[in-house]
Amino acid sequence: MEELWRSLAEATCGFRERLGDHPVSPSVGPAEIRRHLQERYSFQRPVGAGELVRDVAAMLERWGVQVTHPRYFGLFNPTVRPVSVAADALVAFYNPQLALWAHAPAANEIERHVLRFFLGRLGFDPDGAAAHFTSGGQEANHTAVIAALTHRFPALAAGGLRALEGQPTLYGSAEVHHSFQKIAHATGLGRGALRTVPVGADLRMDPAALERAVEEDRRQGCAPFLAVATAGTTAAGVIDPLPAVAEVARRHGLWLHVDAAWGGAALLSRRLRGHLDGIEAADSATWDAHKWLSVPMAAGMLFCRHPAVLARAFGTEAGSYVPKGVRGTRDAYATSLQWSRRCIGLKVFMALAELGAGGYEELVDHQAAMGEALRERLLGAGWRVVNRTPLPLVCFTHPRIEGGALSPRAVAKRVVAGGRAWVSTVHLATGQEALRACITSYRTTPEDLDILVEELERAVAARQGRGLKRTRLGPQPPPRPGSPSPQHRRRT
C-alpha cells in the first residue's frame, strides 16, 4: 500500500505547478483514447498498481478539459482544495455507510456538524431545520420537489398523481436550471408542469408575471404548489428578487425553493451576502459544495425547514435487515432520496476546518474581485457586458459580433482551440447569444485575466475561417499515456 500511495503522490504532486503551461483543453477524439485502452487493457494480464496509477494520471492530464486550470473560465467546476481530495481518499478507504447513523456515528456527526454551520449561514434554525448532502444540485432540487409535493398533496403518497384533483404546476424563471425539466419528468408531473416565468431585461424573474401565471393556472383548474427562485443563475449568475418571489409564494400557499447551487457561496462573504437576503424565508434550498466551495464532485446540499415532511416523503417501513435507529439521531436512508450513501460531507468539513470561515470568505471575495476585474478589462478593451450581477460571472459581446462579422460561438471556439483559456457561450432568455466567462478557480490571478482578454482580442481580430494556432503553449506537452513522463522519472 505504501508504494501505491507513493505512486499516487508522484503522479499528482507538481501538476498544479505545471498547469499554467498546460493546455486547458485537449485536442483528442474518441479513436485515439479507445486505441490506447484497447492496446493496454485487454484485461488478459494483470497490470501493476503503480503502473496503472501513472498511466491513468497521464490519460486524465492529457485527455481532458483541465477544470482546475486557473484559466478555465467555465461551468462552475472548481479548482479543488487539496485537503478535500485527501478527505475523499479517507472516505474511500474507510468506506463508511451513512445510511444508518449506528453504522457510521463519526461520519454522520461530522456531516451534521458542518451542515449546521451552513444552516446558520442560510438563516435557517440549525435545531429546527433538516439538511443533508446530495450528489449535487440535481438531486437536491429533485428532493425539494418531492418534499413540496408531499407537503401539499397528502393523497399523493398512497395514490400517486392520479389521486389528485388538478394538474400540479411549478414555477421557475425562464433562466431556471434545466434540472427541473428532468425532475418534472422523473416525478411523473410531466415536463409541461414546469411553467417558465418571464424575466426582465435584467434576467431576473418578474414576480408580477409569476403571480399572474399562478392565478391563470388556478383558473384553469391546475394546482400550483411550488415556486423556484434562483440565486445565481447558471447562464448569467443573476439573482432572482427573493423577497418579492417569497411574498408571491406566501400569498398563494406555494412552497418556496431557492436554488443557490452556485451562488450560495456568497453567503460566506460579508460583502456579498446581502444580495441573497430573503433566502431565510425559503422552505428549502439547494447549495452545491462542488461548485464555488471548491471541493471535488459530487457534493450538493439540501436544506429544508420541515424535517417532518422529509421523513414523510422518504420514510419506509424499515426492512427486517435494517438495525434499529438510535435515539436523538436521524437515519439518512429514511429522510432522503439515497439509500446506501457515501460520506460526502467530509471533504466540505475538512476544507472548512482548514481554511476557517475567514479563509472561505477570502476565497469567495477573491473570486468576486476577479470577476469585477474581468468586467473592467473587457469594458476597457471595447467589449460590452450584457449581464448584471455581483457574482463573478460575465456575459459579454463585441461590436464585431453585434455587427454580424462573427458569432460568439466562433470566438469561443477560437479561444478554446488556442489552448490558453477556456470560455463558452450562452443563449440568454432575452434572446441574446453571448460569451460567458466565470471565475471558477481560487487560483485565478489578474495575469490570467490579461491572458484571457488577449486571447479574446486575438479571436475577434482573426480573419473569418482562420483558427488560432497552438503556438504559444508551454514548452512541454503533457506526457503521453503509456510513456513514462520526464516528471515521473525525475521524481522517483
Ligand X SMILES: *Cc1c(COP(=O)(O)O)cnc(C)c1O
Cβ distance to ligand X smaller for residue 144 or 453: 144
Q: How many CB atoms lie within 10 A of CB 417?
A: 15
Which residue in 249, 261, 350, 378 binds ligand X (CB under 6 A)?
A: 261
Which 24-43 positions form the footprint of ligand X (CB under 6 A)?
none
Answer yes or no: are the C-beta atoms of 160 and 204 closer than 8 Å: no
- Residue 207 near ligand X by CB under 6 A: no
Rounded to a whole number of angstroms, the minimum distance from the CB of residue 141 to ligand X is: 6
Only segment of 62-70, 137-145, 380-388, 437-445 that touches ligand X (CB under 6 A): 137-145
List of residues 6+ apart from 177 with CB closer than 8 A: 137, 141, 230, 233, 234, 259, 261
Cβ distance to ligand X smaller for residue 96 or 136: 136
- Residue 61 near ligand X by CB under 6 A: no
The end-to-end CA distance of the chain, in Å, is 17
x-marked contacts with ligand X along 301-340 as a string, rule CB under 6 A: ----------------------------------------
Cβ distance to ligand X smaller for residue 108 or 141: 141
Which residue in 179, 441, 485, 487 binds ligand X (CB under 6 A)?
A: 179
x-marked contacts with ligand X along 92-131 as a string, rule CB under 6 A: ----------------------------------------
Only segment of 30-38, 136-144, 162-170, 344-352 that touches ligand X (CB under 6 A): 136-144
Rounded to a whole number of angstroms, the minimum distance from the CB of residue 136 to ligand X is: 3
Which residue in 72, 76, 314, 349 binds ligand X (CB under 6 A)?
A: 76
Cβ distance to ligand X smaller for residue 24 or 295: 295
Cβ distance to ligand X smaller for residue 151 or 177: 177
Q: How many residues bind ligand X (CB under 6 A)?
A: 14
List of residues 6+ apart from 93 with CB closer than 8 A: none
Q: Beta-strand (E) ranges in 275-386?
A: 284-288, 300-304, 384-385
Answer yes or no: are the C-beta atoms of 74 and 424 closer than 8 Å: yes
Strand partners, 73: none
Q: DSSP character for 305?
A: S
CA dihedral 265, 270, 275, 276 (to 10 degrees): 50
Query: Is cis: bond before 281, omega within 30 of 0?
Result: no
Cβ distance to ligand X smaller for residue 168 or 300: 300
Only segment of 1-9, 120-128, 153-161, 257-265 that touches ligand X (CB under 6 A): 257-265
Cβ distance to ligand X smaller for residue 150 or 234: 234
H-type alpha helices, 381-472: 399-402, 408-418, 446-461
Dist CA 71 CA 457 (whole Å) = 16
- Residue 284 near ligand X by CB under 6 A: no
Residue nearest to ligand X (CB): 137
Rounded to a whole number of angstroms, the minimum distance from the CB of residue 230 to ligand X is: 5
Only segment of 17-25, 254-262, 338-346, 426-434 that touches ligand X (CB under 6 A): 254-262
Cβ distance to ligand X smaller for residue 299 or 406: 299
Cβ distance to ligand X smaller for residue 235 or 386: 235
Which residue in 108, 138, 284, 338 binds ligand X (CB under 6 A)?
A: 138
Which residue in 259, 283, 448, 455 binds ligand X (CB under 6 A)?
A: 259
Q: Which three cell numbers stand for residue 280?
A: 431565510
- HSE-up of 293 (CA within 13 Å, CB side)? 33
Which residue in 74, 137, 345, 478 binds ligand X (CB under 6 A)?
A: 137
- Residue 177 near ligand X by CB under 6 A: yes
Q: Which residue, 390, 343, 345, 344, is CA-closest to 369? A: 390
Cβ distance to ligand X smaller for residue 211 or 259: 259
Which 335-364 positions form the footprint of ligand X (CB under 6 A)?
none
Cβ distance to ligand X smaller for residue 129 or 229: 229
Dist CA 411 CA 401 (whole Å) = 9
Q: Which pairs from 381-385 meet CB under 8 Å and 24+ separation?
A: 381/453, 381/456, 381/457, 383/456
Which residue in 25, 108, 230, 269 binds ligand X (CB under 6 A)?
A: 230
Beta strands 433-438 and 424-427: pairing type? antiparallel
Q: How many CB atoms lie within 10 A of CB 120?
A: 12
Cβ distance to ligand X smaller for residue 288 or 361: 288
Distance of CA 373 to the CA centre of its chain: 23
Dist CA 259 CA 364 (whole Å) = 18
- Residue 262 near ligand X by CB under 6 A: yes
Rounded to a whole number of angstroms, the minimum distance from the CB of residue 31 to ligand X is: 29
List of residues 6+ apart from 435 with CB closer than 8 A: 395, 396, 397, 408, 411, 412, 423, 424, 425, 456
List of residues contacting ligand X (CB under 6 A):
76, 136-138, 141, 177, 179, 230, 234, 259, 261-262, 288, 300
